[in-house]
Amino acid sequence: MRIWIDADACPKPIKDVVVRSALRLGITALFVSDKYVHLDKSELLIYVAVEQGQDSADKHIVEASAIGDLAVTQDIPLAALLCRKGLSVIDPRGVVHTPNTVGDRLATRNLMSDLREAGMITGGPAPFSPKDRQRFSDSLDRELTRLLKRRA
């Protein structure tokens, strides 16, 4: 099992939680980005550089990940692809995506995008908060525990 992080827009507090969990549990965490991501020196923490360009990190994660891996992303289309592939997927605010729920989230995302483009809605999500970090940490612990039990 590996943890894949869509690191292009991953908040630093989430990166820190993933690093701590990966080191504590001995799980490889791969941070995929087209911009350099500083990581502590450890064979469990890997920075994967991809070409600059839209969705290049997403494409790499989809191609290189496997059933039983866990992914962290706030990109709903990527989450949908990974859920269909058999990965556990968590967003940085602690929402766990499943094949049963990600379709609804994708439809909502597309609707909101259309409304923003039409000028009917402005602004974006609320700023990332300590509550979001705690929710993410709790969700990550639950998902990693579930995946590790399944492997045993």
Show the 3-state SS of 31-67. EEECCCCCCCCCCCEEEEECCCCCCHHHHHHHHHCCC
At 30, which helix (H) or strand (E)? strand 28-33
Residue 73 has pLDDT above 90, yes or no: yes
pLDDT tens-digit profile of 79-113? 999 999 999 999 999 999 998 887 677 766 666 67
Q: Tokens representing 7?
A: 């690191």
Total of domains in the chain: 1
> Whole-structure pTM over 0.85, yes or no?
yes
Cβ neighbours, 10 Å, residue 10:
19
DSSP state of 8: G
Range of the domain at 39: 2-151
CATH code of the domain in which 19 resides: 3.40.50
User: How far is it, in rounded angstroms, from Cα 10 to Cα 7?
Assistant: 5
